[in-house]
Structure 1
Amino acid sequence: MSELKRTQLYDVHVAAGAEMVDFGGWEMPIQYPGGIIAEHLYTRQVCSLFDVSHMGRLLVEGPERKAFLQHVLTSNVAALDVGLAQYCIIPNENGGAVDDAYLYMFQEDNYLLVVNAANTEKDLAHLRAALQGFDCTITDISADWAAIAVQGPRSKEMLTALNGGAQMTEPMKNALGTVSLEGHYARVAKTGYTGEPLGYEVYVRSEDAAWLWNRLVEMGAHPAGLGARDTLRMEASMPLYGHEMGTAPDGSEIPIFAVPLAKFAVSFSEQKGDYIGRAALEKQHKYFMKYMDRDFSDLSGLPRKIAPIALEDRGVMRAGMEIYQGDKLVGWVTSGTMVPYFKTEGQGLSTVILEASGKRAIGLCYIDSDILTDDTVEVDVRGKRLKAVIPARHMSVGAPPFARPLLYGVEEDEHGVGGGDRAPKALELVHKALENHIWRQEQCINLIPSENTPSRAVRLLSGSDPACRYAEHKKVLAFYEKEVFYYQGTKFIDEVERRLVEEMRAYFGCTEVETRTLSGQMSNMAVFSALMDWKNRVDRKHEAKRLGYVMNNHIIKGGHLSAQPMGALHDYIAIDPVTEKPAVVNFPVCADNPYKMDVEETKKLIDRYRPELIIFGKSMVLHKEPVAAIRQFVDEQNIPTTIMYDMAHVLGLIGDHFQNPFAEGAEIVTGSTHKTFFGPQRGVIGVNYKEDDLKYGLWKTIESRTFPGSVSNHHLGTQLGMLMAAYEMNQFRDVYQKAVIENAKSFARSLKAHGLDVAGDPAIDYTETHQVIVSVGYGEGPEIAERLERNNIVVNYQATPDEEGFTASGALRMGVSEMTRFGFEAADFDRLAALMADCILRGTEVKEEVKKLRSEHLEMRYCFSDAEIDEALENLAAKLV
């Protein structure tokens, strides 16, 4: 044992009573007195510490460091920027793995490559042999820096506290940060080998290692050893070199593309050139793609794959055990054991993690490539064939802050099929609809910022004829661009649509408006489709080019889903050949206010990327967008771009009390017509191009990508309701918008005064829009939103810019527009703030007080209500019955 290497934390492990073992030449803790099962469960429930200082830490420096790493790694190093890391594999010429590794870019002038402990010397020899011809160096800095993995649901809370409450990294995986932990310099990576959605690897100077370890233990973290590290990574289906990489149980070399992570770790970008193993990997990839399409006609190129495996019979799998289908040997277990998990009860967001735990026999295997998910196999366990299954995965990390086990065999809800006498069901539906209507309209206070209640006139008109009719139409050049309808009986709707366009032009202050889109999402899709078509207008003989770089608000920073590559932008955005990711660059935000754009940093990014399209707009919006400043900059720099503002949430605030997008330089504005704009659920597109502008052709394309590109029947009844809403908005906009902004500021001040943590800048009363955001604690948003709903206050739980997703939401996003329409003023919002504080902070039941407050505000404002229009609406309602 004295010849074994020891990490900087050896004495700490011994003092804690760890059982020390030989691990790849290192004397490491396999477990602590509590045992592996307890360590595994504590990681999943709270936070565990893992000494990973035995891993090799290699500093790569020099002018040709990037070119060298491109040559010796499978990943596209050019895709890395400062503050990012990437999983990678060190390949050999045969397409096998020398090792897998992580590459970090903490600084501009070097890279940190972290490799497996037992492979460090072998990896160094391999890498140094490849150094010839490259002007760079590799330095083993493992002795100078210690590494501690801090993994589990409370890891973020603990490290953030040590960092003085400041965010350490962006909330996405592979983000990096350089921080001061109570005065100790540290580099933090949002990475780890446990599968935890909240997990970090912290690099500190060797002399600081024991301090950090002991300080985290004081805060509630528990030490964990190699045993729990193995069960955790196995549950997460993460490969381990020597098991799922390297040499297979039959003595053959495991191809890199046999490992599922290869699809993330291997790049064939032109940026990489002819790197080590590229030809072999391209051949593997060809077969990998065939197998993805279930073409198993030729298994010679990639005969086996790494996959999860779970025992259904009682027993325990171990590495090397044979796997059969019938009499055919189809593979081997590569990793296997009994893994603990916490039991749960409830469904969806109501799922509760219990203190009780269970165990399951799971692992990974190297199995024939034509074995599919859910196929059953048999594992030879000491001469006895035990039934097993190939699941898709063993756990999910899609609901942070907890990793959640996926137990094979848990049945999904059956898809029901209607039957029986429908008459009682129809009556029940009517009764329940009435009950819900009364609850939402008379007993609840609705603060969801993306909702509003249309006036009675809007609702009645939306349900009147021509609802469910058709009125397809387009402008035809042969008739001097006059609208031609393809259906009869459309003269009235033609008049309605022409008047609606006129009213919306007046509202926007722009030249052209398209009102046929059915949602804000569809409006965006029509614009993106038109921009792509416009880009390709001079060349129709080749495959259409997608949009180049687009700048937008990241969804984590409150950006619209419809402006993301995962949303409406998906089919129109190009892939950047350097990063191999969608060509999107996000607006940077201010360090002291993540809800506000950093204009000067934005200008730098615009100058660097020269985006074809700049999309303003957010769904979590407290501030005006800097349209005028960015318009001035792109004009001064002569950057050819299109400026679009997705005003879905703030469409009803266009005016002197918020901002006038076209006057500030926007070219295209899209929006939803049922949020702050109080119409029916539709979409709208406005542009400010004139007929002699070059981009007027883009407007014509937007029209054609709306019809026939996006809609056929454009829901004619709601066009009537939309026209009424436009009349109301143009008539009452000044007083309505003024009241909304004043109420939002007043509500924010009251919430703060009653003890709640209001996000935003107090110098502007926290908001410049209809929205107010309250922080309620990491991951507490869903439960508190549910509690408020039980008390008849309906809000929207929301992840803040430093949180990982909706299940980790620590905030409530609220809007005042609907209650403003029902007459709420500052005093009413103050009463509401007090009730909410009682409910949130003290758990008080306030339902009856909320119902009383709501009952005092049942009459809608900012709509037409004189006797003549009331009589006309009664006549219309009588005909609709």
Structure 2
Amino acid sequence: MSELKRTQLYDVHVAAGASMVDFGGWEMPIQYPSGIVAEHLYTRHACSLFDVSHMGRVLVEGPDRVAFLQHVLSSNVESLDLNMAQYCIIPTENGSAVDDAYLYRFEEERFLLVVNAANTEKDLAHLREAMKNYNCTMTEITKDWAAIAVQGPKCKDILMTLSGGVQLTEPMKNALGTVTLEGRLVRVAKTGYTGEPLGFEVYCRSEDAAWLWNRLVELGAKPAGLGARDTLRLEAALPLYGHEMGLDPAGNEMPIFAVPLAKFAVSFAPQKGDFIGRKPLEQQFAAFKRIMNRDFSDLSVLPRRIQPITLLDRGVMRAGMPVYRGEKQVGWVTSGTMVPYYVAEGEGLQTVITDETAKRAIGLCYIDSDILTDDTVEVDIRGKRLKAVIPANHMSVSAPPFARPLLYRPEEKDPVGSLENLPGKAFELLKKAEENHLWRQKQCINLIPSENTPSHAVQMLSASDPSCRYAEHKKVLSFYDKDIFYYQGTKFIDEVERLLVEQMRLYLGCAQVETRVVSGQMSNMATFSALMDWKNRLDRKHTPQRLGYVMNNHIIKGGHLSAQPMGALRDYVAVDPKTERTAVVNFPVCRDNIYKIDVEGTKKLIDEYRPELIIFGKSMVLHREPVAEIRAFVDAQNIPTTIMYDMAHVLGLIGDHFQNPFADGAEIVTGSTHKTFFGPQRGVIGVNYQREDLKWGLWEAIESRTFPGSVSNHHLGTQLGMLMAAYEMNHFKDAYQSAIIANAKHFARALKAQGLDVQGDPAIDYTETHQVIVSVGYGTGPEVAERLEENNVIVNYQTTPEEEGFTASGALRMGVSEMTRFGFGPAEFDELAALMADCILRGKDISEDVVRLRSRFTKMHYCFNDAEFNAALDRFAGEIGF
């Protein structure tokens, strides 16, 4: 009888011909007959299974569970939301690691802590000793629940085959879910140790382990052992206890902040109190910040750090090999091997992963903290010094669904341009611009929902004088709030701006409008800045407070980039000291329609977070936003908040055919003026505040944060074009908007009839806006969009709310606005739907058919074009030299 422990899948491994080894007291598969290299490559290319049931699994329960975990873990446990996980470290009193671990919160009342197999007994002894003063319990469930890592680009499709198409988790890293796979309950975590952007760890009852493993194999996954697990984690530069944590090769304890992941795993939140190792970790963090600022004056606290290393000379690195810079030993290799990869060809989105494979010698090293990225070093390999370099990364996961190797290449300098033959280059520019203009305006069909072609009058006015002039102006109280201009020659633009404000107030249906912002993003920035300024209006002597909680549509759920912490909101929203995350909460979506806000769920979140600002609006928008419902709720609950609606995509649809935001209760509306609103590229801010309102001061802040806060030259030429577009929109609004909505619904039905997977609610013809979304298959959106462009149809490839990023996009986002303006109606959208289906589903060349269809529709509609107006336009063009 073997004295080694065995997982629930031992017999499955033996039956598959695995080579079994002792790993931390467990008899585990090191590799299968296909070998480590094949297993590594299959993970990166398709989907591999790893038995991780040897990892220690412990349930932590009881009244003091949070306080206990805050004390013994490095992470901020209070920041862990339900159905989320976090990487953490179990620290010693002196700031080194007992182990690293993952903490999961599948349920409200308990946590699951997963630790390294070889350290389980040591970890539990350490934790039990620390638990004596806490009213909570730990229950090891390693024998009761098996764990299978399902990793690789195809893992999601395979698992969702078993779930019947039910989404496993939210698409972000560390998300959790509880689902049934063919009737068997499992816990799913979007985590893993391979570095794959698409990977899950599935926890199932022990009696279901063999069934699940075998079903996954039947569906195309292949088993992989510890050998491939090690090469994969090494390529991803993930630490392994005993190599990158614990004792270094000289027998000294390694500081936790020597590991790059420490900056994510360690929290100094006040609610953590005096947790184990806090003071030495604070010293390490201070040293880490100095080192990151290239202050190497004191390296005593953090003398060495873990960094990637790539061998430039021919050879293989192994753990323990010395690393030198010159004649000085600066550290050791902690992990090293030869790693396979698929060779790629092409650039950008046109990159193709070929079937050709190669290998490279990479590793991790523990080296002096003053060694920087791109520094060259030498590795002593059996007495021979081989040249190596410190790269930034071995791999990138920024383009899912594939993890992509980063082969070390010295940074290339951008080529210096030439001053030769500039007249010839100018001529070539005109030629190519003409070709592009004719293609876009007469030969291709543009379905990008964020674009539109302005009328000829709008285009000519935008390029006329006062283009490139200045007209800064500001209201001055001394002159009874009359605008004072800082430049002469501005009387005409003053008149234009006053007329534009008048027309936009009529169009938006609001009291005040700011038109000097030059983009939708700037509209939002000026508004956020004004909200922050207004919040701090009573106390100018201290550092201004940022906005408290903001509610928005998450970018993955179709939200605007500018309303995200990564976008324009970034500099204005606070960080919640409790969670140490940006104070943003997202609208929940309906389970049966992920494109629609869950109103009741939203009310619960508003009641919990009481946001200072609620931002409606999306860039992927099929439905009206529930402004009226939320306005009624916050008023009834007396929640002091500001409701804003970023209507960038649907600004041209304001009204009875879509939505009246101010009538619904929005206070601020921002937008872009070149999408469904068919003007030049500008922005607009509208509010419904009156002079007697408390928030009149917010409107004044919006004006001041526009000028001088955001703009100096506010692009006066396009102000003229904008006024013409406003005249057109107010005149043709009803006919234009009704045509847009009708065409979008008809186009959606036509695409569906052609066999395409149209997203949205069929009960409303899939859309209430100008947009239509079609699913074309996970990760295929960019390729399909490129194929359509080659056939003269321009669309967006789009990430759906279930996908990980734009390179993993599985949908096309389309809009009917521009082609409606060029005269397309139901018959033309029927014809277009048939052509697109031929291209998407059957790979047919439709390019000439598209040109023929487009060439019939080159006249602009919903603009002034009678004989008298056209004669005036021709006279204007002649006078200004167009």
Does TM, scored on the shorter chain, surpass 0.5? yes
Q: C-alpha distance in 2, partners of 1:14/1:111?
A: 33
Aligned partner of 2:881 in structure 1 is 880
Letter in 2 for 1:253: E
The answer to whether residue 58 in structure 2 is matched with residue 51 in structure 1 is no
Aligned partner of 1:360 in structure 2 is 360
Q: C-alpha distance in 2, partners of 1:410/1:400?
A: 25
CA displacement, residues 622-680 of structure 1 (integer Å, 9 cap, x when unaligned): 00000000000000000000000000000000000000000110000000000000000
Alignment of 1:194-233 (within 5 A): 194-233=194-233
Q: C-alpha distance in 2, partners of 1:428/1:721?
A: 29
Aligned partner of 2:581 in structure 1 is 581
The answer to whether residue 45 in structure 2 is matched with residue 73 in structure 1 is no
Aligned partner of 1:474 in structure 2 is 474
Question: 2:570 aligns to what SS in structure 1?
Answer: coil
Aligned partner of 1:371 in structure 2 is 371
Letter in 1 for 2:27: E
Q: Which moved more, 1:38-47 or 1:865-874?
A: 865-874
Aligned partner of 1:686 in structure 2 is 686
Aligned partner of 2:15 in structure 1 is 15
8 Å contact from structure 1 (residues 149, 199) kept in 2 = yes
Aligned partner of 1:616 in structure 2 is 616
Letter in 1 for 2:408: Y
Question: What is the CA-CA distance between 1:411 and the residue it aligns to?
Answer: 5.7
Aligned partner of 1:869 in structure 2 is 869
Aligned partner of 1:767 in structure 2 is 767
Aligned partner of 2:805 in structure 1 is 805
Aligned partner of 1:792 in structure 2 is 792
Aligned length: 881
Letter in 2 for 1:144: D
Letter in 2 for 1:266: V
Q: C-alpha distance in 1, partners of 2:468/2:347?
A: 38
Question: 1:569 aligns to what SS in structure 2?
Answer: helix
- TM-score after normalising by structure 2: 0.99
Letter in 1 for 2:171: P
Question: 2:360 aligns to what SS in structure 1?
Answer: strand
Alignment of 1:703-718 (within 5 A): 703-718=703-718
Q: C-alpha distance in 2, partners of 1:658/1:624?
A: 7
CA displacement, residues 202-233 of structure 1 (integer Å, 9 cap, x when unaligned): 00000000000000000110100000000000
Question: What is the CA-CA distance between 1:414 and the residue it aligns to?
Answer: 3.0
Question: What is the CA-CA distance between 1:410 and the residue it aligns to?
Answer: 6.4
Q: C-alpha distance in 2, partners of 1:492/1:733?
A: 27
Question: 1:333 aligns to what SS in structure 2?
Answer: strand
Aligned partner of 2:433 in structure 1 is 433
Question: What is the CA-CA distance between 1:876 and the residue it aligns to?
Answer: 1.8
Q: C-alpha distance in 2, partners of 1:370/1:535?
A: 44
Alignment of 1:635-650 (within 5 A): 635-650=635-650
Aligned partner of 2:540 in structure 1 is 540
Question: 1:300 aligns to what SS in structure 2?
Answer: coil
Q: C-alpha distance in 2, partners of 1:317/1:192?
A: 25
Question: What is the CA-CA distance between 1:425 and the residue it aligns to?
Answer: 0.4
Q: C-alpha distance in 2, partners of 1:214/1:239?
A: 30
Letter in 1 for 2:810: G
Alignment of 1:151-300 (within 5 A): 151-300=151-300
8 Å contact from structure 1 (residues 169, 175) kept in 2 = yes
- TM-score after normalising by structure 1: 1.00
Question: 2:569 aligns to what SS in structure 1?
Answer: coil
Question: What is the CA-CA distance between 1:75 and the residue it aligns to?
Answer: 0.2
Question: What is the CA-CA distance between 1:866 and the residue it aligns to?
Answer: 1.4
Letter in 1 for 2:230: D
Q: C-alpha distance in 1, partners of 2:536/2:81?
A: 31
Q: C-alpha distance in 2, partners of 1:693/1:654?
A: 25
Aligned partner of 1:389 in structure 2 is 389
Q: C-alpha distance in 1, partners of 2:535/2:95?
A: 40
Aligned partner of 1:665 in structure 2 is 665
Aligned partner of 1:312 in structure 2 is 312
Letter in 2 for 1:523: S
Question: What is the CA-CA distance between 1:415 and the residue it aligns to?
Answer: 3.5
Aligned partner of 1:402 in structure 2 is 402
The answer to whether residue 490 in structure 2 is matched with residue 490 in structure 1 is yes
Alignment of 1:507-546 (within 5 A): 507-546=507-546
Aligned partner of 1:735 in structure 2 is 735
Question: 2:787 aligns to what SS in structure 1?
Answer: helix
Runs (5+) with no aligned partner, structure 2: none
The answer to whether residue 859 in structure 2 is matched with residue 856 in structure 1 is no
Question: What is the CA-CA distance between 1:298 and the residue it aligns to?
Answer: 0.7
Letter in 2 for 1:180: T
Aligned partner of 1:594 in structure 2 is 594
Q: C-alpha distance in 1, partners of 2:672/2:586?
A: 22
Aligned partner of 2:98 in structure 1 is 98
Question: What is the CA-CA distance between 1:81 and the residue it aligns to?
Answer: 1.3
8 Å contact from structure 1 (residues 741, 769) kept in 2 = yes
Question: 1:130 aligns to what SS in structure 2?
Answer: helix
8 Å contact from structure 1 (residues 464, 880) kept in 2 = no
Q: Which moved more, 1:869-878 or 1:269-278?
A: 869-878
Question: What is the CA-CA distance between 1:555 and the residue it aligns to?
Answer: 0.1
Letter in 1 for 2:757: D
CA displacement, residues 603-637 of structure 1 (integer Å, 9 cap, x when unaligned): 00000000000000000000000000000000000
Letter in 2 for 1:309: I
The answer to whether residue 76 in structure 2 is matched with residue 84 in structure 1 is no
Q: C-alpha distance in 1, partners of 2:508/2:265?
A: 48
The answer to whether residue 607 in structure 2 is matched with residue 607 in structure 1 is yes
Question: 2:869 aligns to what SS in structure 1?
Answer: helix
CA displacement, residues 502-559 of structure 1 (integer Å, 9 cap, x when unaligned): 0000001100000000100000000000000000001011100000000000000000
Letter in 2 for 1:10: Y
Question: What is the CA-CA distance between 1:416 and the residue it aligns to?
Answer: 3.5
Q: C-alpha distance in 1, partners of 2:413/2:357?
A: 24
Change (3 A) 1:294 1:413: closer
Question: What is the CA-CA distance between 1:736 and the residue it aligns to?
Answer: 0.1
Q: C-alpha distance in 1, partners of 2:754/2:189?
A: 38
CA displacement, residues 7-52 of structure 1 (integer Å, 9 cap, x when unaligned): 0000000000000000011000000001000000000000000000
Q: Percent identity?
A: 77
Runs (5+) with no aligned partner, structure 1: none
Q: C-alpha distance in 2, partners of 1:213/1:691?
A: 68
8 Å contact from structure 1 (residues 192, 200) kept in 2 = yes
Question: What is the CA-CA distance between 1:880 and the residue it aligns to?
Answer: 3.1
CA displacement, residues 743-773 of structure 1 (integer Å, 9 cap, x when unaligned): 0000000000010000000000000000000
Question: What is the CA-CA distance between 1:421 and the residue it aligns to?
Answer: 1.6
Aligned partner of 1:502 in structure 2 is 502
Question: 1:171 aligns to what SS in structure 2?
Answer: coil
Aligned partner of 2:145 in structure 1 is 145
CA displacement, residues 245-304 of structure 1 (integer Å, 9 cap, x when unaligned): 000011110000000000000000011111000001000000000001000011101000
8 Å contact from structure 1 (residues 344, 351) kept in 2 = yes
Aligned partner of 1:698 in structure 2 is 698
Question: What is the CA-CA distance between 1:413 and the residue it aligns to?
Answer: 7.0
Large movers: runs of 4+ above 4 Å: 410-413
Change (3 A) 1:591 1:863: same
Q: C-alpha distance in 1, partners of 2:207/2:509?
A: 65
Q: C-alpha distance in 2, partners of 1:579/1:553?
A: 20
Aligned partner of 1:2 in structure 2 is 2
Letter in 2 for 1:750: A
Question: 1:570 aligns to what SS in structure 2?
Answer: helix
Question: What is the CA-CA distance between 1:412 and the residue it aligns to?
Answer: 4.6
Aligned partner of 1:745 in structure 2 is 745
Aligned partner of 2:723 in structure 1 is 723
CA displacement, residues 730-751 of structure 1 (integer Å, 9 cap, x when unaligned): 0000000000000000000000
Question: What is the CA-CA distance between 1:146 and the residue it aligns to?
Answer: 0.2
Letter in 2 for 1:455: S
Question: 2:487 aligns to what SS in structure 1?
Answer: coil
